[in-house]
A and B are shown apart, each in its own frame.
Chain A
Amino acid sequence: MQITETPILEVNNLAVEFATHGGTVQAVRGVSFHVAKGETLAIVGESGCGKSVTVQALMGLIPIPPGKITSGEARLDGQNILNLSPRQANQFRGVKIGMIFQDPMSSLNPTMTIGDQIGETLKVHLGKSQGEAFAMAIELLEKTHIPEAAKRARQYPFEFSGGMLQRAMIAQSLACNPSVLVADEPTTALDVTIQAQILELMQELQKSENMSIVLITHDLAVVARMADRVAVMYAGQIVEAGSVDDIFYRSSHPYTLGLKIAMPSNKHDRDKQLTPIPGSPPDLFMPPAGCGYFSRCPHAMSICRAHLPGVTDMSDSQFSRCWLQEAGAPDVPELHQRKNLPEQQVTATTGPLDAG
């Protein structure tokens, strides 16, 4: 995999664990990815796969203890943003990197007006006066197409609908013109017609502000709609990453395939049975020695149980973490396999672990 330009955000070998009563949970186990300027990277996976913990670590939102970042670095514009002091963290958080959350109702302060909450960001980070901050808050609300922004800025969160609150939260996250917007399941709590509006808004603002987006979601349809590149997470690791077309049309990991055939496609194929993925994800108190997907994988081999697969580059844009990509592995017709590619398409042998 080759990185053509310097990425705005680069994460290397991030690992996060949590001490709990039941033992230590290894929530994120060596995750690497990068995000280029102006692009959208979707991190997709199911509950408990570590996708939210990954971005919370970037934002400095992991409570330490019980949380602990055991390894890795994250470079935003060249600067490592892990292991910062709280004071240092506050200088980039909300300024260079903004975040919006799944549940706008519980993420906003119910006792502050919307205008004051957005203004607070401007007061803290840019040293604006109350009056300036409030005026800028109204402009931000207008930017996110909230009608009657001046009136709305004086209202409280309970007076907003879910879609309007998500717009307000986006307005807040944009206050200091961040170069990266992290969106953690931004439309999961919204209805489908409102989801369409919010996704459209995010794309519009991404263009006008030349912003990069890290989109956390479990919804492959939202991924198809929004992403330039995709990282698929399972059991705390990225099992496959590539361009959005790589992931959907040249899936190189059985888990990605499994997700695709578990969902109904909107084609006239009523009789086609959905194929569930049997079983459930592994316990991350004691992560498996081998591939995390071993117990659910229809193509599992004995090597998968004992040994973690390495990273195989499928192309300049795609990598896979699966033993089926090794020379001599059995053919799986549905799977995009490196060994079946013409030689000139294979550019490099196993490279560094990076979701580029």
Chain B
Amino acid sequence: MLVKTDKLKKYFTISQGQTLHAVDGISLSIAENEILGLVGESGSGKSTFGKTLVGLHARTSGEAYYKGELLPKQFSNSDHLRYSQDMQMIFQDPYSSLNPRMTVLDIVGEGLAIQGKHKSAEIKDRVAHWLTRVGLNADHMSRYPHEFSGGQRQRIGIARAMIIEPTFVVCDEPISALDVSVQAQVINLLDSLKKSLGLTLLFIAHDLSMVRYVSDRMAVMYMGMLVETGPANDVFFEPQHPYTQLLVGSNPEPDPVTERSRAFRPILGEVTSPINVKPGCRFAGRCPMVKDICWEVTPQPIKINAERDVACHLFG
């Protein structure tokens, strides 16, 4: 396993006595060369999990390992310098994640510059190489972010992550801000980079169809916890956890005949507050199959076969 977490928790203190359980005990492993898709609705903690993994948040408790090595609970500057050579991140918003006052050369080359091992001419060459590689014009490196479209900016963000030649990349909703025609451009780019560089990706998104398409395995998060993991197609086509079933059942398909034949039963209720959560299943309030035990005992992931885990009292 390239990346592994064990009961990883990240809580935020909001005010006295109020704790937000953003990530609440996630045990997950990602194999080398694998794309793990992490899906969940807004506020489920999926971005916080990704950021905690690469050290952008300090863990509250639990462990995170990279290549079997325990990662520090809170990254110091030297930890960041060291681990950023292996672990990189691509952000959701291609507008706010690029410094508007820096040129593309400075943005993409910053990682190499910080390493301090490269001459500026060398950095310029690498930046030119990577801009071309992600489908941008190398001549544009003296331009500023505002001169690019959303899709082009996302490519700048990808070049910035890839120039370090990392092993593991957290992609936090890399296509959510893009138009459909451009989403496919970015997905295909990530796919070709993954194949040519042997990357391992944590692909965080809320678009279920895209995650199924992109990922080898899929993990479904709800209010800070994993409810189901398994091979992407299995989870999508045979969801086991009631929440995954709701998610898949709510996901419209671009096909009118399928949509007309859909037995539509939207489940009422919304995600409740992740502040000061009580024990019990977090989905209990919306679950059509809720039992008494669900209100009292937090379900733990159970293996339903060699490849799949489900955290639900209906199993086991």
Contact = CB atoms under 8 A, between A and B. Distances in A.
Contacts of B208: 192
A300 interface: no
Contact of A192 (B151, B183, B250, B254): B250
B14 interface: no
Contacts of B196: none
Contacts of A275: 184
Interface of A is mostly: helix
A46 B209 contact: no
Interface residues of A, number: 46
B181 A193 contact: no
B247 interface: yes
Interface string B229-269: 00001001100000000110111111111110010101110
Interface in B183-210: 183-185, 187-188, 206, 208-210
Contacts of A245: 256-257
B270 A163 contact: yes
B184 A263 contact: yes
Given A197-B268, A224-B254, A258-B181, A192 B187 contact: no
Given A264-B212, A268-B233, A274 B184 contact: yes
- Chain B: interface residue count, which band? 35 or more
B266 A197 contact: yes
Nearest to B236: A266
Interface string A257-301: 011101111101010011111101000000000000000100000
A46 B212 contact: no
Nearest to A261: B184
A195 B180 contact: no
A220 B180 contact: yes
Contacts of A227: 256
A103 to B, nearest CB: 14
Interface of B is mostly: helix
B181 A192 contact: no
Contacts of B151: 280
Contacts of A296: 181
Given A161-B270, A200-B264, A280-B151, A221 B252 contact: yes
Contact of B250 (A193, A262, A270, A278): A193
B179 A46 contact: yes
A262 B183 contact: yes
A54 B92 CA distance: 29
A280 B266 CA distance: 36
B12 interface: no
A259 B182 CA distance: 10
B188 A244 contact: no
Interface in A124-145: 145
B42 interface: yes
Interface in B153-176: none
A192 B270 contact: no
A192 B41 contact: yes
B42 to A, nearest CB: 6
Contact of B256 (A248, A258, A273): A248
A193 B41 contact: yes
A207 interface: no
Nearest to A48: B179
Contacts of B115: none
A82 B93 CA distance: 37
Contact of A278 (B185, B251, B252, B254): B185
Contacts of A248: 254-256
A259 B252 contact: no
8 contacts: A194-B270, A220-B254, A249-B256, A258-B181, A263-B209, A273-B188, A277-B181, A277-B182
